[in-house]
Structure 1
Amino acid sequence: MSKFVSINKGALALQLRLPQVGMPEIMSFTNTPPKASGDANEPSILGTIERSSRINGMDSAVPNAVLLPLGGMGFFGWPAITGHRMGQTFILQFANWQVEEADQKTHLHAQDDIAKIGLTITLQAFASGVIGVSTRLSNHGEADYLLERCMAGSFPIPAGKVEVTGYHGMWGREFHSFTEPLGEGLWMRQNRRGRTSHDCPPTLFIDHQAMQFAVSLGWSGNHQIVIDKLDDGRRLLHAGEVLEPGEVILAPGERYQSPTLYAGADTKAFHSFVRDDLVAWPTGQMAPRPVTLNTWEGNYFDHRIEDLKSQASAAASLGIERFVLDDGWFGERDDDTTSLGDWDIDPRKYPQGLAPLIDHVTGLGMEFGIWLEPEMTNPASKLMTAHPDWVLQVDGRSHLLSRNQLVLDLSRKEVHDYLFDKIDTLLSAHAISYIKWDMNRDLTQVGGANGRAATSAQTRAVYALMDRIRAAHPKVEIESCSSGGGRVDFGVLARTHRVWASDCTDALDRLDIQHGITGFLPPELVGAHVSASPNHQTGRRHSLAFRAIVAMAYHFGVELNPQTLAPEEQQELAHYIAVHKRLRNLLHKPGASFHHPPLDGRYVWGAGDKSRIALFIAQGPQMMAEQPAPVVVETPDAASNDGLWRIAAVHPAHPAFSRISDAQRKLLEGDIEFPLSDLARTGLPLPMMQPESAVLLEIEHVKGGPSNG
């Protein structure tokens, strides 16, 4: 008799049937679970009816919609697991499924007695409604098993028209959304860059008339998402690692553990999952995100300790709360050609070490952070002179440099221990509360010490080093930076506390980048900084108001030397920092944020609760319309408190409007009160804004509704 398993704790519900032989059959996968408690766990009567195939098909129909379908036994689609023993034992068929409940997870165990391969599929439902699935494959035989492919999991998509939305881009242009329809053939996106990538992050949104959901793979290495059309018109989505030839050879008794594939109903579910279940904060809960000064664009490699102290003093006077010393403090690091891997303080720049600077920063009441790039080295370094064999390489192949860097093989114990000792010594000797962990190149010639492909081992070794450092220094936060947004995923975020969305700090480009990344990450984890004008990446000139407002709703920071600002600019920046701090608990409140799709070059985002709304509006390019459409806003919490509302503050005081009517002026001055339902139904009739300008409106509840009735 078949066993049934149900996984649901929110918007998504997955029901499986475990057959005597074969893979778990997906009975249902919906984002509208049954209303009656317990119904979701009842076996589907209709799902147990055996289906017949076409006349020219198999005599006994083989289920198609299964978790991790396998080839060679009647399924003719894309197999989710493949492997062999030197060309033999190339077919798998699992049987005798057993269910184990442990640690709030459901483990499905099965065995192929002929191939002598064991399989465990682990499923977990989170309070956010997100479902996680991962796979473990074990070699119980007496010979090696060459694993070619093992996806983390599968989710079904109903038959009919389907659109998928994902992200593409490049360095400095990350997280740009694309939407395309699925056709008749196999749909696949692969990344082989050895990190999450700027152009192909492993997150995808599925839009079908009857079902909408999103998936994201928790993995920072090579990966793929595949959507296969089944014989009955439905589709199966799979995601997991991309394994290079010969990369995973399981000796007898060894096993392979996949990353975890997560499925959520929508952006809100992913935000809740990241906040509540993924990110592990040093104190158990997130403290207010400190306004940060990062020294990179203000100094580059030019480190002069007295000038840095002066910058720290200027930063503190602006209200900045964290000072991060970027690249250039170690070895003989005067440019990017040397010293990566030599993690000793440069005595030329810091003759008394880092302590005088750190003491000055912490004495001003700020936290101190530091930049590291542990995975990389330069050919011109003491480390490479001593240990040229420590880099990833393939015998007989010349090294391929990127940004003058080679990649250390972190899977080697001696490399791992060397890096841990250097970082542990640095953190133990200084009051450092934050690491900006960078990783600035794609991986090539990824050969390990045994000569085999090692991308998977390298990714796991990076995780292991992060885990070891966090265990030794649990109060230290880590930022994931990878030449900007090249390593942003749910795998690295289980070990870090913030991501750097892009090396591009141009406010105009950041509108799309930040809109895209908040599709799956909450805004408080996304670093967004005010940088200099003209911008160092694009050369564009923007007002300080535009630069600040575009960055304010996220993990706010500054990427310039504050001493270069004119007095009036310092005063203006201090104003925006103060406004951010005043609104921070609203902007980063769980469930409060919203982001609307851009319309005619206008971007709208913000946050709201029952008493106030912070509404950000930015105009990118010139509008095409003769008049701008009213700004319609639906806020998650505010809707329960209608009553009357008004605009209480406008930043900047004089926005860059093209033309304004008397009634619009009265609206902006707070003289017109309106019900919240008008904001959601009719919208704010705001004036047209000039291109590359922005405004922040603070809207407050004034009377009526449950708070002030």
Structure 2
Amino acid sequence: MTQDTTVTVGGGAFALSLRLPPTGMPDIVACGGPPVTENPLADIERSSRVNGMDAAVPAAVLLPVGGLGFFGWPAIAGHRNGRDFLLELSGWRVDRAGSRTTLTARDPVARIALSIVLESFPSGVIAMASRLTNEGDAPYTLDRCASATFLAPAGEAEVISFTGMWGREFQTRRDRLGEGMWVRENRRGRTSHDRVPMIMIAGSGQRFALALGWSGNHLIVIDRIDDGRRLIHLGALFEPGEMILPPGARYDSPVAYAGPDSAAFHAFVRDSLIPWPGGRATPRPVTLNTWEGNYFDHRLDSLKAQATAAAALGIERFVLDDGWFGQRDDDTTSLGDWDVDPRKYPAGLGPLIDHVTGLGLQFGLWLEPEMVNPESRLYRSHPDWALRVDGYAPRPSRSQLVLDLTRPEVADHLFHKIDAILANHAVSSVKWDMNRDLTHVGGRDGTAQTTAQTRALYALIDRVRAAHPTVEIESCASGGGRIDCGVLARTHRVWTSDCTDALERLEIQRGASAFLPPEILGSHVSASPNHQTGRRHTLAFRALVAMAYHMGVELNPLTLTPAETAELAGWIAHHKRLRPLLHAPGAAFHLDPVDGRYAWGAAGADRIVLFVAQGPQMIAEQSLPLTLPPPVAGRGGRWRISAVHPSDPAFVRLSDGQRRLLSGAIAFNLATLDRSGLPLPMLRPESAILLELEPIVRDTANG
């Protein structure tokens, strides 16, 4: 333990520099950009207006508190039965252990201790979390305790956030930051489709990204302080009276993360967050998921035939979705009855799993452990296991109630059911679903417990993973309703959206890619017409929109024509050939859409893969030349287009020069493509192409 007065966490492109005062919260000297190792000006107290405080008051500090001269949004607030509501910490101590730094101080009057834990990662991302301990002899009510505070400069700035709904997740929104506060609160009990805890700040020559690792109620607040700068707070959101700490108890916040850009978050999620079995990701297997191809109609002979057809297509994982347990013929019954349906599987799941694995495919299984149907054996036996508030009738959603995971008997029951399935079957992956928001989240003592429910979920997943460390888990919640850095610390893939419509997926996947690497975003080729929207799309468009991500198939392969079977097998082969580049560290890039045209891809030393898709019809008479981002164009050298897929793209019109460009007859200097761009032909609406670019190597021996 040391008594340092300056602390720096991180380095390179993104660092956080702090000064520890004798009393009060740590001052933020600099946030973002390279570290500030010495700044004598930071010790100069700034004077206030005549009606200000006589002494300097906190301004740009970590986790500011109220009542002591800071008049902005307090990041920590609480009391002990109406008393001890002030919090003036002193005696800051520093404990360093590797890449982790812990700051600790106490308020001897309020008898509260606070620790702030900071950690830096090789990706350039910084993590921060808070820990508040009640050292008094009476309970302490914690009304608010944010995880972290970061600082944004003064001046023009905007916040980029993500909203949406079921089937339209990760819709990008841009809000100009003004004089007041920007507040985003989520009370759905899960991460949500409409208020994702991930934002980007851009302005005054600085841009950085922030995310909260939490799957429950949360808040993000951007507060403009007196001098014009902005404090950004992230943390869990408590229900009234939810967080009461008995003497000696502590509250550990979720972890918040900040980094310079999307690339840093991709590297962090891939290399430091996801708990890959064996410590590293293996190639992401092309997946057939049975949901849209079968729904609840499980016929063993048909499923075996689908698996055989899938193997012939080049698919590598077969996931059996909802409908295999209880008497699950629709979504109104049997959740909670995690026993194989003997009507559909007289000999259990073994014959199907043996057939699938005998084909060389992995086998995956769908579960929704947190929920229970009132029409189920489990609910009839244990109606008290569902979350409820005494005196109020429960309100089902999707014919479901929510099991109280904080009760040990409930968690034990679910673990033993899941453990029995995984221990007795060759299951390589679990699709862990969660299909409703939380209401009536009351504990047995009548208090709100949304936070405890989220932590109990984490504990259950951790317990399953500890017992079955080689089984991968996919996070699904009505599609993309639970995608955050908290659940990703214990899962391996997310189901990006229940909407498999390729046109809708353009914006959904672009938004999700701002924080998440492509190989964990499930993206499937589904049937036409699409089951969610009714749109009809070519197989080429559907496949190209899915190919760069964790590619899969969401249809019954037995319904494909011979021509469709051959075409889909070809797209899967292209994906598997390009997968080492598409999913390589640091390779992926996305471009902002222009006039409905989306572009994304991956860049390596000897190949660039570029996807271009047109959503709605362009407004412009001519399409704007497509520029590549500076990190890609900066590789330099002379390049050419070596392949175009499909071979007959849906161009509106093609000039002779464009034809020569696409055929590879025209070379270009890559270094100019961040400015001049590729003059590609205009695509018809709802179509796409894949371009492969390769460098031209001069034969020095022959000049």
Q: 2:155 aligns with which of 120, 145, 160?
A: 160
Q: Which residue of 1 aligns with 2:580?
A: 585
Give the residue type in structure 1 aligned to 2:643. Answer: A
Residue-by-residue CA offset, 1:119-145 (whole Å, 9 max, x unaligned): 000001111111110000001110000
Provide the rounded CA distance (Å) in 1 between the counterparts of 2:180 and 2:37: 34
Q: CA deviation at 1:250?
A: 0.3
Rounded to whole Å, the distance in 1 between the matches of 2:19 and 2:662 is 59
Q: Offset at 1:675? A: 2.2
The separation in 2 between residues aligned to 1:187 and 1:72, in whole angstroms, is 22
Letter of the 1:139 counterpart: N
- Residue pair 2:356, 2:362 contacting (<8 A) in 1 also: yes
The match for 1:692 is 686
Distance in 1 (alpha carbons) for counterparts of 2:242 and 2:526? 43
Kept after mapping to 1: 8 A contact 2:405/2:453: yes
Q: Summarize deviations over 1:560-579 as a string: whole Å, max 9, x none.
A: 00010100000000000000
In structure 1, the partner of 2:124 is 129
Q: State whether residues 10 and 130 of structure 1, in contact with CA within 8 Å, keep that contact through their aligned partners in structure 2.
A: no
- Residues 643 and 704 in structure 1, CA contact (< 8 A), matched pair in contact too: no
* Structure 1 residue 701 corresponds to structure 2 residue 695: yes
Task: Give the Å deviation of 1:686.
Answer: 1.4
2:57 is aligned to: 62
Q: CA RMSD in A?
A: 1.4
Partner of 2:651: 657
Indicate the residue corresponding to 2:19 in structure 1.
17
Structure 1 residues 61-460: aligned runs within 5 Å:
61-460=56-455
How far residue 11 of structure 1 moved from its aligned partner, in angstroms, is 1.4
Partners of 2:624 and 2:44 lie apart in 1 by 53
**3-state SS of paired residue (2:488):** helix
> What is the letter of the counterpart of residue 468 of structure 1?
R
CA distance in 2, matches of 1:207, 1:103: 31
Give 1:392 deviation, angstroms.
Answer: 0.8
Q: How much has 1:704 moved relative to structure 2?
A: 4.0
Secondary structure at the counterpart of residue 592 of structure 2: strand
1:672 to 666, 676, 686: 666
Alpha-carbon offset, residue 630 of structure 1: 1.2
Q: Of the candidates 641, 647, 653, which is equivalent to residue 641 of structure 2?
A: 647
Q: Deviations over 1:398-452 (max 9, x none)?
A: 1111111000010110011000000000000000000000000000010012211
Deviation at 1:343, TM superposition (A): 0.5
Name which of 3, 6, 20 aligns with 1:4. 6
User: In the alignment, residue 685 of structure 1 is paired with which amino acid?
Assistant: P
Distance 2:17 2:681 in 1: 51
Change (3 A) 1:480 1:381: same
Distance 1:10 1:470, change over 3 A: farther
**Where do 5+ consecutive residues of structure 1 fail to align?**
35-39
Tell me by how many angstroms 1:210 deviates: 3.2
Partner of 2:522: 527
- Equivalent position SS for 2:610: strand
Q: Which residue of 2 aligns with 1:626?
A: 621
Change (3 A) 1:250 1:208: same
Partner residue in 2 for 1:37? none
Match of 1:41 among 30, 37, 41: 37
Distance 2:487 2:559 in 1: 35
The answer to whether the Cα contact below 8 Å between 1:10 and 1:128 also exists between their aligned partners in 2 is no
Shift of 1:645: 1.7
Partner SS state of residue 147, structure 2? strand
Deviation string 1:528-577 (CA, Å, 9 cap, x unpaired) is 00000000000000000000000100000000000101000000000000
**In structure 1, what is the Cα distance between the partners aligned to 2:541 and 2:12?**
39
Distance 1:496 1:636 in 2: 30
Indicate whether 1:475 and 2:470 are aligned: yes
Out of 481, 497, 510, the position equivalent to 1:515 is 510
* C-alpha displacement of 1:633: 1.6
Question: Shift in Å at residue 234 of structure 1?
Answer: 1.2
Matched-pair contact (CA < 8 Å) for 1:196–1:486: yes
Please state how far the C-alpha of 1:638 moved relative to its aligned partner.
6.6
Question: What is the DSSP-based 3-state SS (H/G/I as helix, E as strand, rest coil) of the residue aligned with 1:547?
Answer: helix
What's the offset of the Cα at 1:103? 4.9
Partners of 1:175 and 1:517 within 8 A in 2: yes
Matches of 1:374 and 1:705 in 2, distance apart?
62
Alignment-mate amino acid for residue 398 of structure 1: A
Q: 1:209-255 deviations in whole A, cap 9, x for unaligned?
A: 13211110000000000011111111111010110011111000110
Confirm or deny: 8 A CA contact 1:608 1:636 kept in the other structure: no
Q: Is the 8 A contact 2:646 2:689 kept in 1?
A: yes
Residue pair 1:645, 1:675 contacting (<8 A) in 2 also = yes
CA contact (8 A) 2:100 2:120 kept: yes
SS in 2 for 1:681: coil
- Asked whether the 8 Å contact 2:72–2:225 carries over to 1, the reply is yes
- Check whether the contact 1:123–1:134 (CA below 8 A) recurs between aligned residues: yes
- Provide the C-alpha distance between the structure 2 equivalents of 1:279 and 1:9, rounded to a whole number of angstroms: 23
Q: Matched residues in 2 for 1:2 and 1:445: separation? A: 47
User: Normalising by the residue count of structure 2, what TM-score does the alignment of the two structures yield?
Assistant: 0.98
Distance 1:698 1:636 in 2: 18
1:591 and 1:636 in contact (8 A); partners too: no
Structure 1 letter corresponding to 2:202? D
Q: What is the percent sequence identity of the aligned residues?
A: 64
Aligned with residue 595 of structure 1, among 590, 599, 606? 590
Residues 648, 700 of structure 1: 8 Å contact kept: yes
Number of equivalences: 700
Report the 3-state secondary structure (helix = DSSP H, G, I; strand = E; otherwise coil) of the residue aligned with 1:70.
Answer: coil
CA contact (8 A) 1:610 1:638 kept: no
Corresponding letter in the other structure for 2:391: G
The one-letter amino acid paired with 2:281 is M
Task: Note the C-alpha offset of 1:396.
Answer: 0.8
Shift, 1:613, TM fit: 0.9
Deviations 1:252-296 (A, max 9, x none): 011000001100101111111111110110011110000000000
Could you tell me whether the CA contact under 8 Å between 1:301 and 1:334 is conserved in 2? yes
Inter-partner Cα distance in structure 2 for 1:448 and 1:128: 40
Measure how far apart 1:682 and its partner are: 1.9
Counterpart CA distance in 2 for 1:576 and 1:651 is 9
For residues 172 and 26 of structure 1, the distance between their equivalents in structure 2, rounded to whole angstroms, comes to 40
Which secondary structure does the structure 2 equivalent of 1:90 belong to? Answer: coil
- In 1: Cα distance, 2:502 partner to 2:314 partner: 21
Residues 681 and 185 of structure 1, relative CA distance in 2, 3 Å threshold: closer
Alpha-carbon spacing, 1:159–1:510, altered in 2? closer, same or farther (3 Å): same
Q: Helix, strand or coil: the match of 1:324?
A: strand
Q: Secondary structure in 2 aligned to 1:703?
A: coil
Cα distance in 2 for residues equivalent to 1:614 and 1:520? 20
Structure 1 residue 677: deviation in Å? 2.3
Give the gaps of 5 or more residues in structure 2: none
